Amino acid sequence: MARVLYLVHRIPYPPNKGDKVRSYHLLRHLAERHEVLLGTFVDDPDDLPHVPTLSRWCTEVKAVPLQPLRARMASLTGLLRGEPLTLAYYLHAEMQAWVQGLRARGGIDAVVVFSSSMVPYSEGFGVPVLVDFVDVDSAKWAEYARNRPWPLSWLYAREGRTLLAYEQAVARATTRSFLVTQQEVDLFERLAPAVAGHVQAVGNGVDAEFFAPDPTLPSPFLADELPLVFTGAMDYWPNVDAVSWFVAEMLPALRQRWPTLRFHIVGRSPTPAVKALAGPHVNVTGTVPDVRPYLQHAAAIVAPLRLARGVQNKVLEAMAMARPVVAARTCAAVLDVTPGEHLAAAEVPADYVTEVARLLSDAAAAQQMGAAARACVLQHYAWSARLGGLDPYLPPPTPHAH
């Protein structure tokens, strides 16, 4: 049985936001084949009670509480060292001591790292190191810089430059690196040609047994309303931008035709800007115990993301629930889908209004799109098949791996 050290920047359970969905399923994938030792941070007090659950899949767990405010202050030391601020953010003496102890004990056969910020903890083991970048984070910061005023624009641009240099060094120094789509691989290789041949795509999947149509789920909506739904972590800037844009630019036109239409923003930790959207025609739920009733009973799901790239779990989950989805064209482009058949793709506000209106006007077409969406997910998006791309770079599993 191979012993794999799995390093994750945020506790991979419960899988209630995008990065945690992928890191959780990667944990499960590793644990089915190997003995897993997990090192992770807990940046949300609500997640602390879930730490014991990780012992189901791990023989050893080191979960270090991280105070975001203190970590942000510590990250500023990166300015003095010329390093990405995200590296200093996750620099923690307790995690360093635990990893040092593992190195001294020996017996680690491979290290899997989720997020480049955890790479420093992988050094010195002398074993294969696999890094799941997920996305090209440096490009994200560069994009943020173009959309924020000074001095944030300067700070984000600096983070983009220094992080790109670090990502390139990591990709070249480790055994193999992974990104969530081939488009992200192509972007990384354009930005840093030296990484060509060191990175590959390992896509996201969806748990289609959990996210499955179930009309018996109780509806969370009023009987006389026509519900549109957006799901996601609502302290994530691309999600904040998406719902703010939809409420300002698309919702008024849709409500002129459907006065009972109501937009539901479903997700944890809504920012003040998101909470300010709440009103008679916009419902901001905050954390919900189960997102599936909102998906099941929605007339349609919208994902008007302007700033996010890569595979969106929110889109796959809605598709798995056999719901019609209107998503950003950039989100549709990275999926194995045919726009118009498995989902609707849009780019500008008029596109979204047209596509949502088409689904609301034709219930049969909406139902047909939802059925095609689920069939697509079942065919292409099983987690086990998606994450199998890591297996050739890990020690072979044994019949005794749990």
Could you read off the pLDDT tens digit of each residue along the chain, which spans 402 residues? 799 999 999 999 999 888 999 999 999 999 999 999 999 999 999 999 999 999 999 999 999 999 888 888 888 888 888 899 999 999 999 999 999 999 999 999 999 999 999 999 999 999 999 999 999 999 999 988 998 889 989 999 999 999 999 999 999 999 999 999 999 999 999 999 999 999 999 999 999 999 999 999 999 999 999 999 999 999 999 999 999 999 999 999 999 999 999 999 999 999 999 999 999 999 999 999 999 999 999 999 999 999 876 778 999 999 999 999 999 999 999 899 999 999 999 999 999 999 999 999 999 999 999 999 999 999 999 998 899 999 999 998 655 444
Is 398 contained in some domain?
no
Whole-angstrom distance, CA of residue 312 vs CA of residue 240: 15
Residue 250's domain comprises 226-380
Say how many Å lie between the first and final Cα of the chain, rounded: 9
Pairing of strands 300-303, 282-286: unpaired
The answer to whether residues 69 and 190 belong to one domain is yes
Classify each residue of 331-363 as buried b or exposed e, where b means 16 or more C-beta atoms within 10 Å of its C-beta: bbebbebeeeebbbbbeebebbbebbbbbbeee
Distance CA 15, CA 24 (A): 6
The total number of structural domains in the chain stands at 2
Residues in CB range of 210: below 8 A, 6 or more apart: 292
The whole-angstrom separation of Cα 101 and Cα 98 is 5
In a domain, 213, yes or no: no
The 3-state DSSP class for residue 257 equals helix
User: Do residues 368 and 387 share a domain?
Assistant: no
Residues near 267 by beta carbon (within 8 Å), at least 6 away in sequence? 17, 230, 231, 232, 233, 234, 239, 285, 286, 287, 288, 291
Same domain flag for 260 and 273? yes
32 plus 121 within the same structural domain = yes
Q: Which helix (H) or strand (E) holds 289?
A: none
Residues 38 and 85 in one domain: yes
Tell me how crowded residue 215 is: count the other CB atoms within 10 A of its CB.
7
User: pTM to 2 decimals?
Assistant: 0.85
Whether 194 and 287 map to the same domain: the answer is no
Clarify whether residues 285 and 201 are in a common domain: no
